[in-house]
Structure 1
Amino acid sequence: MSFVYSSAATRKLPWLLLLTATAFIPGLLGPFVLDDHANFQLLFAWWSGETSLSRAIFDNGSGPLQRPISYLTFAMNMAIFGEQPFGFKALSLVFHLLTALALAALLNRLLTVHGMNERRAAAWSMICAAAWAIHPLQVSTVLYSVQRMEVLSSLAQILAVLAYIQGRTLQASQARTGLLWLWLAFPATMAAGMLCKENAILALPLALAVEVSALNCLPKTRSVWAWTGILCLGVVAIVLFAATDPGYFFGGYAARDFDLWQRLITEPRVLSHYLLATFLPFDQNLYLFRDGLPISTSWAQPISTLLSIVGLLAVSALAFGIRRSRPLLSLGLLWWLVCHSLEAGPLSLELAFEHRNYLALAGLLIAALGLAPTKLLAHRHSLWLASISLLLPLWLLCVQRSYAWGDLDRLLSAESPPPPQVSRRLQVIEIARGIEANDPGRTQRAFAALENSGADNATIAATWHAIVDCSLEAKLSPSRRAAFMQSRPSVMTFQHANWLGMLSRRVDNGGCDGLTPADLQTTVVRWLEHLKKPPHAISMRQLRDQRLLPQDAER
């Protein structure tokens, strides 16, 4: 392990682990959230004997590669702890600790390559890795069980970059060994990461970012140019594939409230939100439910769109321009940009999720090291000052947020977006929680929030009024029936199809006086006629499977 940790760094590892573990312990007893249950359905079926383990791991429908390594770790969870969320969160914390150790090793290598003495490099790498590990922004990745995929992918990317640095530094003295690191260890680690989550492919541009900035002092070799060529060929192949089969990458926009152009001009604003949450990690900037973020409709609507785009272009130009004069600062900025390049790009994903900052946050810490004056980093009191002024506040904020994640109602209260944003996902959960707790006031507040936040959300409110009334009273009043049948969404999302299915099952079972299967079919046909764009094929299949379309519509 000498190439990973120096002896000085090894002595500090227990403090890094202890600080991180204690910050997340308050949240380990929390519940599954959002799509945890949906992603674990096959695992639950395997646990109850309804399907095979191989199907749960290799045929789960989670991404193009099925992410079998991630699902294998989830299966390990169930084998040890059963179906309880605690086991999932605890093992995710273990992988988070391992990722923090890997990041500390990477930072240590970068600092020593740039001439910092072993003891000082060990201390600063541990402080930065600890700040990354206990930043409250990481809570919504570590304690959101299914996002272990992100944790494992990030761990693999860091290890792959470490392998790249090791190969590059060995090429001058041990050419064959260096080639093994570059052409065996690096691609193998990256491939393993892609079997956790496909975004581990970013290990390749991350390694090249290290090359053009932090390692520009080393002589360029044929391997470097080969990796550059592979990256370029990969980009060209993706572009050609997207041109021949655009539906593979962009078909999901049919089920989104935004189109490709709106996503591309909104994402710079999303990145600015992430930066705000990074540097001011307080409650108003940290929230899980970001689906109510306003969409940019033009360059200047809202004006923050243009400002964010200009800022992003300026950061990109700065990162490339200072790669020789301030290599670590350049690397930090490039790292942050690369980590966001895939999920902030043209793929038809949701606009914002905090787990996309998980590995990107490391880039900002590298940039901080590169920005700090050499004399400051070398001063004997600077380490203590950084530990107290940086780590202590972050630890307290992380504990506070972890505590909120330890209980569903605390989480829903703490993770609500700031006004005027309204999260439809949160309000639907609030409706269900109000019913479970026999708290009609809570339910009505959630309905009011939806009804007063636009026609699309009002449609959701009308649908859920029908679901709730049919479930609790087995009857739908004429006014609620009229509101539901006259509602008109502008987009048919996957959620709409799921909610209509819930309502259909209640109506088909004869559990809703006042609403018939014919009423549902009429409403769905009117919805489809009103849509701004054709619905996604999956949504249409769901509607047909649930007999929510008449026979002539199916043809």
Structure 2
Amino acid sequence: MRQRPPSANESSFARLLDRPWFAAALLALLTVAAYLNSFRGQFLFDDVPSIVTNPALHSLGQSLLPSADGGLTTSGRPLLALSFALNYAVSGVEVWSYHLVNLALHLANGLLLAGIVRRTLRQPAFAPRWQADAPAVAFIAAALWLLHPLQTESVTYVVQRAESLVALCYLAAGWFLIRVHEEPGRRAWPVAAFLACLAGMAAKEVMATAPLALALYDRLFLAGSWRETWARRGWLHVALAGTWLLLGALVLTTAGRGGTAGFGTAVSVRDYALTQFSAIAHYLRLFVWPHPLVLDYGTALVTEWTRVLPAAVLVLGLLGASLWAVGRGRAAGFGGLFFFLVLAPSSSVIPIATQTMAEHRTYLPLAGLCVLVAAAGVAGLRARVWIGFAGVAAALGAATVARNAAYASRVALYEDLAVRCPTNARALALLADYHQREGNLEAAQRWLERSVALEPVVESLNNLGNVLQARGDLARARPLFERALAARPNDPTTLLNLGSLLAAEGRPPRPSRASSPRCRPGPISRARSSTSPTPSPKPAAGRRPPPATSACSS
């Protein structure tokens, strides 16, 4: 008679994992080891306008009011803004406290994920098969998710706390939903689930998918059918859906995130949707092989459907398989559908003109994939899963440490980005700014010239003109200011720059209202685009993002 393969939970180590305190302590140790060097990371990109120079964060009360500038990362997200305001109260613009909170959020999310998986697999419908292996699956899934280097952009890049904060609310709502099921007589659990969902709506718009995901989770893992879901907790799911009202009000305050997101942008729904096939396929590849990682993919678009045909077949095939599995009541389909559902607000048909793809969008969606991998590994390898897990965890942790190290130098990080995305004009302009801050005007000029050649927007023209003027090349600086003024007449910054240059030439400028003393000149103009910090170039009116040929190399 053939013997049953040993369970993954039959080793002494695995039995220790059945003690929640041991599993939590080990997950914390692994996470801190992987992210300890993230504290060397500096403020960059969106950090500057959203945190460093954002006056709304100087007051806790003011931080709760949505910013009038809908392009800031904190705009329309009062819970996110409040968290940064608390950091500002503790350490001002010293970055250590921001990294500490980001790391704490990431670890809390991993622990919540582990707890959800453990309790889910021990529900009556799954206990006969998964009771013994639940601790192993929960630990492996959480560890893979915590250590994966694709998560670094949401942890080490400070402003992307938006992802980890909304994930905390999302996962907490799921945890409380399970407790509602397990202890239906306690009123505290449904109230907690509602408040967690409400808080998530104040953290980031991706929370819009939570009421749908939670209802689907309830049907597959707790109630067993839609009829039972409605009979037992229909009132709770209606309340969770009611939190959309808060989200809708907050979205309206940002006016389409300053005109950069939604159906009113210069990016067509068709082109954006086509681009997302390539983007999602790229995210899936990075889940399997997380290299190279790119901070800013720019605004590249795919405009021909033939270019995304292989990616579309992959994405639609996986989505279809997930829907089929869920439709048949198979719980395994939830992991795949969760990936697509959480990505939907940013990676479907609603254009986000300033970033057509971004790695931080995969932060919470990866949880579904990690659970599927962990469950498949435990089911297929049994006790041998720990050998494979040790190797994978070590590789992922080392890659995360290496990626975090890149954030210690803004110049090095953006020089690598310039190699990966050589036609990303915004990234080249930022790299030039970082060189200029370090006094390297020659390098700043070189990168700005490349940026202007790609996208001659007003901000980059002004920046290059100022660098040339600082290097004494007044003859080449003047035409740049004149080009900028022709593109945006009566722009105060350009008028001041041109006036400063004419004064240096000994030719006083003609009086102008726009060049009144109210305008404050700077060494380099720092006009900000809707989602990038100073001095990222802002797309000129009527311009479309560069075509798909400007996509980053991978």
Q: Map of 1:107-506 to 2, 5 A cutoff?
A: 107-113=117-123, 114-115=126-127, 116-118=129-131, 120-168=133-181, 170=182, 175-177=184-186, 181-182=189-190, 184-215=191-222, 217=224, 219-223=228-232, 248=256, 251-252=259-260, 258-282=267-291, 284=292, 286-292=293-299, 294-300=300-306, 303-304=307-308, 306-323=309-326, 327-349=330-352, 350-372=355-377, 374-376=379-381, 379-382=382-385, 384-416=386-418, 418=420, 421-451=422-452, 453=454, 456-457=455-456, 462-471=461-470, 473=472, 476-477=474-475, 479-482=476-479, 485=482, 502-506=493-497
- Describe the shift of the 1:332–1:520 C-alpha distance in structure 2 as closer, same or farther (beyond 3 A): farther
Matches of 1:69 and 1:486, distance apart in 2: 42
Residue 35 of structure 2 aligns with which residue? 24
Counterpart amino acid of 1:422?
A: T
Matches of 2:331 and 2:417, distance apart in 1: 34
Q: Deviation of residue 36 (structure 1)? A: 1.0
Which of 24, 34, 37 is the equivalent residue of 1:13? Answer: 24
Counterpart amino acid of 1:406?
A: A
Counterpart amino acid of 2:260?
A: G
- Describe the shift of the 1:331–1:519 C-alpha distance in structure 2 as closer, same or farther (beyond 3 A): farther
Matches of 1:521 and 1:131, distance apart in 2: 59
1:75-114 deviation digits (Å, cap 9, x = unpaired): 3223332320122112211111111111111121222232
Q: Deviation of residue 35 (structure 1)? A: 1.4
Q: Deviation of residue 289 (structure 1)? A: 1.6
Q: Deviation of residue 247 (structure 1)? A: 7.0
- Describe the shift of the 1:216–1:396 C-alpha distance in structure 2 as closer, same or farther (beyond 3 A): same
Q: Any conservation in 1 of the 2:283–2:359 contact (CA below 8 Å)?
A: yes
Counterpart amino acid of 1:108?
A: R
Residue 534 of structure 1 aligns with which residue? none
Q: Deviation of residue 358 (structure 1)? A: 0.8
Q: Deviation of residue 400 (structure 1)? A: 0.5
Matches of 1:404 and 1:246, distance apart in 2: 33
- Describe the shift of the 1:469–1:122 C-alpha distance in structure 2 as closer, same or farther (beyond 3 A): same
* 122-131 or 504-513, larger mean C-alpha shift: 504-513
1:129-150 deviation digits (Å, cap 9, x = unpaired): 1111111111111111122222
Q: Any conservation in 2 of the 1:330–1:367 contact (CA below 8 Å)?
A: no
Q: Which consecutive residues of structure 2, in runs of 5 or more, have no partner in the other structure?
A: 1-15, 515-529, 532-554
Q: Deviation of residue 279 (structure 1)? A: 1.2
Counterpart amino acid of 1:158?
A: L
Question: Taking CA–CA contacts closer than 8 Å with sequence separation of 6 or more, which of the two structures ends up with the larger relative contact order?
Answer: 2
Q: Deviation of residue 452 (structure 1)? A: 5.1
* 431-440 or 386-395, larger mean C-alpha shift: 431-440
- 3-state DSSP class of the match of 2:357? coil
Residue 74 of structure 1 aligns with which residue? 84
Q: Deviation of residue 367 (structure 1)? A: 2.5
1:178-214 deviation digits (Å, cap 9, x = unpaired): x7634x2222110012222233232212212323444
The answer as to 2:106 corresponding to 1:100 is: no
Q: Deviation of residue 360 (structure 1)? A: 0.7
* 367-376 or 189-198, larger mean C-alpha shift: 367-376
| TM-score after normalising by structure 2 | 0.76
Q: Deviation of residue 312 (structure 1)? A: 2.6
Matches of 1:248 and 1:403, distance apart in 2: 35
Counterpart amino acid of 1:429?
A: L
* 8-17 or 513-522, larger mean C-alpha shift: 513-522
Q: Deviation of residue 43 (structure 1)? A: 5.6
Matches of 1:237 and 1:81, distance apart in 2: 31
Matches of 1:257 and 1:248, distance apart in 2: 12
Matches of 2:246 and 2:83, distance apart in 1: 32
Counterpart amino acid of 1:150?
A: E
Q: Any conservation in 2 of the 1:466–1:503 contact (CA below 8 Å)?
A: no
- Describe the shift of the 1:437–1:310 C-alpha distance in structure 2 as closer, same or farther (beyond 3 A): same
Matches of 2:348 and 2:468, distance apart in 1: 41
Q: Deviation of residue 394 (structure 1)? A: 0.2
1:249-303 deviation digits (Å, cap 9, x = unpaired): 8943699663333212212211112112221112x2x1102115x3111322xx1
Q: Any conservation in 1 of the 2:47–2:158 contact (CA below 8 Å)?
A: yes
Q: Which consecutive residues of structure 1, in runs of 5 or more, have no partner in the other structure?
A: 523-537, 540-555
- Describe the shift of the 1:360–1:97 C-alpha distance in structure 2 as closer, same or farther (beyond 3 A): same
Q: CA RMSD in A?
A: 4.2
Q: Deviation of residue 486 (structure 1)? A: 5.2
Residue 552 of structure 2 aligns with which residue? none
Matches of 1:252 and 1:65, distance apart in 2: 12
- Describe the shift of the 1:346–1:247 C-alpha distance in structure 2 as closer, same or farther (beyond 3 A): farther
Q: Deviation of residue 230 (structure 1)? A: 7.5
Counterpart amino acid of 1:135?
A: H
How many residues are matched? 491
Q: What percent of counterpart residues are identical?
A: 20
